[in-house]
A and B are shown apart, each in its own frame.
Chain A
Amino acid sequence: MGNKGFKKWAAAGAMFFWSVAAWAEYKLNLQIPQTQLGEKIYDLHTIITVICFVIFVGVFGFMFYAVFKHRKSVGHKAAQFHENTAVEVAWTLIPAVILIALAVPATGTLITMRDTSEPDLTIKATGYQWKWGYDYLKGEGEGISFYSMLSTPRAQIDGSDVAGRNANPHYLLETDTHVVVPVGKKVRILTTAADVIHAWWVPALAVKQDAVPGFIRDTWFKAEKAGIYRGQCAELCGKEHGFMPIVVEVMEPAAYTAWVAAQQKKVAAAKVDPDKTWTLDELKEHGGKVYAQNCVACHQATGMGVPGAFPALSGSKVVTGPKAEQIKLVLNGKQGTAMNAFKHLSDVDLAAALTYTRNSWNNKTGEAVVPADVKALR
């Protein structure tokens, strides 16, 4: 290659680095870690990538040298050598040494990652199709429990509000309630699921753990800085898999204490008198909300379901038939279908949702399902 050729390549190289710099605004690397462990992982990734890059350049440097210098068109005659024990031993042993050098720091980091002992706060995250439920099990805030659902409006997703979508910096990464945790405390997350496998993942906190139905797994993080960190379900869990984000809000200790107090007050205020007598309209109104949170993804707001996949409730024989059958179906689910058991909802919520389905769309039974009906069949 002449001097001219070299200049051409240098110019191409400069163009490449210029374009990388111009792209700096795009995310080209892992998210900025917010935990010490996250930083270790970030560094580990950088080290491995750099090592791979250097080897890659070395090996293909040889290849491209051969491609340019040992080509027939420049008159190169083929040598007929093959097999060389020294070379072959070297290219087996050198990679082995590099790999051992990589495995050592990886082992240390992994052992720290998996040490979930002595947490300050333990939260159980339960995956549902398609939302997350959180129970604060131990530590400050014990007893707090809530669901967390996507709060991006449907209109932004289906394209009827494109302007809203483009103006939404947290499109698909926002939820109605946040998992609030204190800064600088070791938070242990237990994961499980009610139906299929989900995965609880917050990239900035460097945690990802599958949520397996019927089993408990755990992971932990200790956030170094207050802020809001966003993640998503990472394991395919059905049609709304892309729509069950996770939002973790890390607060200063004082703010966290205040949040806990407010939550506990809310819980006390929301406590429903179990002996309350509900009217049909009250049940239907509350039921509409429960339906919107739990049923609408499959059975749809119109009650028409998705033909072939999810049955319609409007005009359904089960919904307009005897109460007991419908209650049992919702409590236990239907094996082998996407209809899961909804035992985790309260008697009041279930009764209200069922009342709503029995008195909406084309269903006009005029019947109320009361909490006692559900309780009797549990």
Chain B
Amino acid sequence: MSAVHAPTHDHGHDDHHAHKPSGIMRWVASTNHKDIGTMYLWFSFAMFLVGGVMALIIRSELFQPGLQIVKPEFFNSMTTYHGLIMVFGAIMPAFVGFANWLIPMQIGAPDMAFPRMNNLSFWLLPPAALLLIAAQFAPGGGAGVGWTLYAPLSTQAGPAMDLTIFAIHILGMSSIMGSINIITTILNMRAPGMGLMKMPLFCWTWLITAYLLVAVMPVLAGAVTMTLTDRHFGTHFFNAAGGGDPVLYQHIFWFFGHPEVYIIAIPAFGVVSQVIPAFSRKPLFGYASMVYATASIAILSFMVWAHHMYTAGMPVEAQLYFMYATVLIAIPTGVKVFNWVATMWKGSLTFETPMLFALGFLFLFTLGGFTGLVLSIVPVDIQLHDTYYVVAHFHYVMVAGALFSAFAGIYFWLPKWTGRMYNETLGKWHFWLSLVFFNVTFFVQHFLGLAGMPRRIPDYSLQFAEFNMISSIGAFGFGLSQLLFLYIVIKCITSGEKAADRQWEGADSLEWTHLPSPAPWHSFETPPVVK
């Protein structure tokens, strides 16, 4: 599709509809799900680098005991914005990018249901990111309150906190619009014959995730708005002196925060559920039970929020309830893991980069799940709460879980998106470097937490020195390995070998079976018929 020759074009006349606007306007005004998906993915990678630099500042300061590089208040700001940017700027938009690219192609739809809203939900992200970055330069520096923004620390923070609150409002609007779009697209725009229980699992996981987002983003917006009015308009939601309760904030935040964990994890499950069967050359072992397990996890995720607050103070009966409800999540999560392993069983396995990342995900995410089970037991959690054990636990889930799955997805679909193949050798290098350095960084943090190192401290006593040094070395290795990823992707786009339409012989969803590589700018204008 070329729009190069238009010098004699009459500008008073509308261009042909199939032609896309050229230059920057192609992106600014885009209503094309593929272009918007691309923008989401590049945006999230840029945020991944910003959040990564923040992580490296944290790990540099923690390289050895004492305060060497940054002041404690700046350190606190780094931990805060590292978390916010990675969660809201990197991981969530990455999976929305996947959703944009893949859902219409996988269900045989021409585009998303609301293309203009799709444009808006992407273009809300850069201003929000700018607010988060601008917060670093507010008087007094960034708000060093932790990504959870607990009151009343957040009510006494400087103006950076207000920028952060507005950023969260905007990010929330973007997520809600994106979710409405995804739900509507999946429910209304499936090709004839594409029943719900025939959809690729990736679509199912996003359908469930989108409902979670619509349910909980307003809750977070409420929590930060209450913080805002406490700060400036004399309310006392979280101030005991005025009849409020600081712990109320935590209840509201985690009512959002726990489903948020699954908002990140469930699309990751979806990607892995596409990749593992493709490279096992064997259908997913239990499609229906995967759908039910995903839905169960989503429903349970609304009922367990206070397991983040075992030390905050609540009646023992409530602690018992939240403990029992939390361990229940292990059952559907186990079902998923068993399903993936059973899918591989007696398959015909090959180990290209997407499969390697999917297996890395499976192995390490399960490890993170097990430490989650350890943390769900109240008496044990009381020892481990707010220590590096928790830091290790959620990085196994977020990095080795969500991020590895995103890498698996990108290597898997790059040939379809660009029409070119990435360099398999370099891809494998990227995987092994990431795997090794990830574990060097985070495995030792379990020991730090067990031995009693609290999280979010810029300096520590000497018995923690060795493991912190190892962790910092790992973090730099991990960070640098991601530059290799950038190189691989750019090289693939510019000079990769031509990819086949069905690059992976085991891949059987519509985008592989019905569309050429690269997928044309407009696909499925006439819906395919699914048998």
Listed in ascending order, the chain A residues whose CB lies under 8 Å from chain B are: 26-31, 40-41, 44-45, 48-49, 52, 55-56, 59-60, 62-63, 66-67, 70-73, 76-83, 87-88, 91-92, 95-96, 99, 102-103, 106-107, 109-111, 113-114, 156-159, 162, 165-166, 168-173, 195-197, 199, 201, 203, 206-210, 212-215, 217, 231-243, 306, 308-309, 336-338, 340
Contact = CB atoms under 8 A, between A and B. Distances in A.
Contact of B382 (A80, A206, A233, A241): A206
A110 B324 CA distance: 12
25 contacts: A27-B447, A48-B380, A59-B338, A59-B366, A60-B363, A70-B344, A70-B345, A78-B280, A79-B282, A82-B286, A92-B334, A103-B327, A159-B68, A166-B462, A172-B459, A197-B153, A199-B386, A212-B246, A232-B457, A235-B386, A238-B76, A238-B156, A242-B459, A308-B140, A337-B156
Contact of B320 (A67, A107, A210): A107
Closest 6 CB pairs of A and B: A214-B240, A242-B457, A27-B451, A78-B348, A309-B140, A52-B370
A99 B313 contact: no
Contacts of A109: 379
B202 to A, nearest CB: 18
Interface in B454-473: 454, 456-463, 466-467
A231 B282 CA distance: 53
B153 A70 contact: no
A203 B453 CA distance: 10
Contacts of B28: none
A240 B367 CA distance: 33
Contact of A72 (B241, B349, B370): B349
A234 to B, nearest CB: 4
B324 A103 contact: yes
B528 interface: no
Contact of B380 (A41, A55, A239, A340): A41
Nearest to B350: A72
Nearest to B152: A196
B21 interface: no
Contacts of A213: 152, 240, 246
A307 to B, nearest CB: 9
A240 B335 contact: no
A70 B346 contact: yes
B377 A88 contact: no
A56 B367 contact: yes
A311 to B, nearest CB: 10
A91 B66 contact: no
A346 to B, nearest CB: 21
B331 A92 contact: yes
B436 interface: no
Contacts of B327: 99, 102-103
A62 B284 CA distance: 16
A67 B150 contact: no
A217 B313 contact: yes
Contacts of A40: 379
Contacts of B240: 212-215
Contact of B349 (A66, A165, A209): A66
B280 A171 contact: no
A237 B245 contact: no
Interface in B136-159: 139-141, 144-146, 150, 152-153, 155-158
Nearest to A191: B313
Given A96-B331, A210-B311, A63 B67 contact: no
Given A52-B371, A72-B348, 13 more contacts: A26-B466, A70-B349, A71-B349, A76-B349, A81-B346, A106-B379, A165-B66, A208-B385, A212-B246, A306-B73, A308-B139, A337-B156, A338-B157
B226 to A, nearest CB: 14
A168 B192 CA distance: 73
Nearest to B240: A214
A126 to B, nearest CB: 14
B433 to A, nearest CB: 20
Interface string B356-368: 0001001100110
A368 B150 CA distance: 40
Given A27-B463, A79-B282, A169-B462, A196 B328 contact: no
Contacts of A96: 331
A30 B383 contact: yes
Contacts of B71: 239, 306
Contact of A95 (B246, B330, B383): B330
B518 interface: no
A203 B379 contact: no
By secondary structure, the A interface counts as mixed
B524 interface: no
Nearest to B367: A56
Interface string B414-457: 00000000000000000000000000000000010011101011
A40 B380 CA distance: 9
B72 A83 contact: no
B520 interface: no
B487 interface: no
Nearest to A91: B338
A238 B139 CA distance: 16
Given A88-B286, A239-B144, A240-B72, A196 B156 contact: yes
A234 B454 contact: yes
B349 A308 contact: no
Contacts of B283: 80, 82
B377 A48 contact: yes
A79 B334 CA distance: 23
Contact of B145 (A91, A214, A236, A336): A236
B346 A199 contact: no
Given A59-B341, A242-B454, A113 B382 contact: yes
Contact of A214 (B246, B324, B467): B246
B453 to A, nearest CB: 9
Given A52-B373, A71-B351, A169-B462, A238 B153 contact: yes
A106 B323 contact: yes
Contact of B461 (A29, A103, A171, A336): A171
A103 B347 CA distance: 37
B341 A66 contact: yes
Contact of B335 (A92, A107, A162, A241): A92
A87 B144 contact: no
Contacts of A67: 344, 349, 351, 359
A208 B232 contact: no
Considering residues B156, B331, B371, which has the most beta carbons from chain A within 10 angstroms of its beta carbon? B156
Contact of B72 (A173, A235, A239): A239
Given A209-B311, A239-B72, A110 B454 contact: no
A63 B349 CA distance: 11
B316 A111 contact: yes
Given A62-B341, A210-B311, A309 B382 contact: no
Contacts of A197: 150, 152-153, 246
B286 to A, nearest CB: 5
B328 to A, nearest CB: 7
